Amino acid sequence: MNLQVLAVDDSRTMRDMIRFALEPVGFTVHTADDGIHGTEVLSQIEPDVIITDINMPRMDGFGFIDAVRDRSEHRSTPILVLTTEAAPELKMRARAAGATGWIVKPFDPMKLVKALQMVTG
């Protein structure tokens, strides 16, 4: 199962951790360092699932989720929020914007893999 993943996070360390967690189990990981870069990468690939941080420069995760959902071809692409934030109101805001799920950093690599497998069916 070769799923395409777009991981958007301003932390190079987080992008590397996501890549190290996912590539060994067969995911192809594309990365972007903020929401604007994420929308640029999104124009070039067809991800099966998107992972995004919330707190990023230029365009935050909420803006990025909105930008993804504005594209008809990505209205149903699963989006997982991977963030240090755990506030219920932020989770509700992310869901309202169109996020599929929420994972708090630091993450367990196997839980991330399982979450991606669940949302991609």
The CATH number assigned to the domain holding 38 equals 3.40.50.2300
Residue 113 has pLDDT above 90, yes or no: yes
Q: Does 70 score more than 80 pLDDT?
A: yes
Range of 62's domain? 4-120
Cα–Cα distances (Å) from 70 to 47, 75, 76, in that order, read 15, 7, 11
Task: Read off the pTM.
Answer: 0.95
Distance separating alpha carbons of residues 64 and 42, to the nearest angstrom: 11
- Residue 54: exposure state from Cβ atoms within 10 A (0-12, 13-18, ≥19): buried
> What is the average pLDDT across 19-23?
96
Query: What residues does 77 pair with on adjacent strands?
Result: none
pLDDT above 90 for 42: yes
pLDDT in tens, 80-106: 999 998 899 999 999 999 999 999 998
Instruction: Using the predicted structure, report yes or no on whether residue 1 has a pLDDT greater than 80.
Output: no
Mean pLDDT of 47-52: 97
**How many domains are contained in the chain?**
1
Q: Does the pLDDT at position 2 exceed 90?
A: no
Residue 4 makes CB contacts below 8 A (sequence gap 6+) with 27, 28, 30, 45, 46, 47, 48, 49
Sequence-ordered strand ranges (E) for 9-90: 28-32, 49-52, 79-83
